[in-house]
A = this chain, B = another copy of it.
């Protein structure tokens, strides 16, 4: 298999399970992609990320273009070799992060001019430059360069932004060119407006992409509003292509998204939470900084097979977190990524066996009886 393709093995309601095939390996769907912003999933070695069950990582174009620079990564053999991860990588386009992280942005039809948050240097991103950067990085799944207005935004502003993103999607497709084995994904916008979502989906489908993302969600609108959009948005996109919900999410967000037909997700949550002393488990969240864990000999989750749960007590994790030891970030991140991948494996198995409703019921029941700490 040298091309890029997607196959659906089973469906259960609107949920689907299958695999994305790429020259660098298979991505089992629904898939959760750990985020490796600056060419590392923070506090993890790549072989450990793989051991949690991850088939694909996400890299951030914005961060990598600023440091170490896309041309430099290319000269060093590409992002896979640079960060020692031989499996598929998806890169975002930089569009979202340039708007949220950089200083002094100037947005025009042509693209975005901005100053680096690292060293103040001036940079320019456009659909063409984003495609070039993602090609230099060697990304397997390339995202269209898009724009997403800050919330709250009027429907007129959302519409205007979405239409520019659709023009940029066309420019992205043209700039991407013909690259067998690599994929370009379009990004649906339109906020929480069904009409705009439909218009966006239609525009993207007309251009044609190897996969389709649902953008502009998980930006503070809340789960109810997000699920409201997911009740219709995935079905507007071609059923035979992977659907990627960007930036999601908490475990219950993931479960709800999969129920609504989403195939791929990414989020910094498991790794970021790990660095702030938070553990996600089947029974809810634990906040290891709390004194109640100081002498608790139990692992985070007695049924978890990750190294943190096999080798260490909550008391130890409390101690190393309180002592600002790096191993706290290492173990909690590993546990969280393991839990998220376990959840994905559970969802895939349930869909394959047509018992997703029961799986979801059990998922919520276990959390409800759990010992959840406010984070």
- A: residues with CB less than 8 A from B are 38-40, 42-47, 67-68, 72, 75-77, 82-84, 294-295, 297, 307, 311-313, 315-316, 319-320, 322-323, 325-327, 329-331
Q: For the complex formed, measure the closest distance between the CB of A273 and the CB atoms of chain B, giving whole angstroms.
A: 15
The reply to whether A40 and B327 contact each other, CB–CB distance below 8 Å, is: yes
A-B contact pairs, 11 of them (CB 8 A): A40-B320, A45-B330, A45-B331, A67-B323, A75-B295, A76-B295, A76-B297, A76-B315, A76-B316, A326-B326, A326-B330
The reply to whether A45 and B316 contact each other, CB–CB distance below 8 Å, is: no
Residues in B neighbouring A83, C-beta threshold 8 A:
316
Residues in B neighbouring A38, C-beta threshold 8 A:
319-320, 323, 325
Docked CA distance A75–B315 (Å): 11
Contact of A311 among B84, B312, B326 (CB under 8 A): B84
The reply to whether B76 and A327 contact each other, CB–CB distance below 8 Å, is: no
The reply to whether B44 and A327 contact each other, CB–CB distance below 8 Å, is: yes
Assess A312 versus B84: contact at CB under 8 Å? Given A40-B327, A45-B327: yes
Residues in B neighbouring A72, C-beta threshold 8 A:
294-295, 315
Q: How many copies does the complex hold?
A: 2
Docked CA distance A43–B324 (Å): 11
Given contacts A67-B319, A83-B316, 6 further A-B contacts (CB under 8 A): A45-B307, A45-B330, A67-B322, A82-B315, A84-B316, A330-B330
The reply to whether B76 and A325 contact each other, CB–CB distance below 8 Å, is: no
Residues in B neighbouring A329, C-beta threshold 8 A:
326
The 10 closest A-B pairs by CB, nearest first: A84-B311, A43-B326, A68-B319, A40-B327, A38-B323, A40-B325, A76-B315, A82-B316, A76-B297, A40-B320
Residues in B neighbouring A45, C-beta threshold 8 A:
307, 327, 330-331
Residues in B neighbouring A331, C-beta threshold 8 A:
45
Residues in B neighbouring A40, C-beta threshold 8 A:
320, 325-327
Q: Which B-chain residue is minimally distant from A316 (CB atoms)?
A: B82
Q: For the complex formed, measure the closest distance between the CB of A69 and the CB atoms of chain B, giving whole angstroms.
A: 9
Residues in B neighbouring A84, C-beta threshold 8 A:
311-312, 316
Contact of A325 among B42, B75, B294, B307 (CB under 8 A): B42
Which of A45, A313, A329, A331 is the most central at the interface, judged by chain B CB atoms within 10 Å of its CB? A45
Q: For the complex formed, measure the closest distance between the CB of A332 and the CB atoms of chain B, giving whole angstroms.
A: 12
Q: For the complex formed, measure the closest distance between the CB of A176 and the CB atoms of chain B, giving whole angstroms.
A: 26
Docked CA distance A273–B180 (Å): 45
The reply to whether A68 and B315 contact each other, CB–CB distance below 8 Å, is: yes
Which of A67, A77, A307, A327 is the most central at the interface, judged by chain B CB atoms within 10 Å of its CB? A327
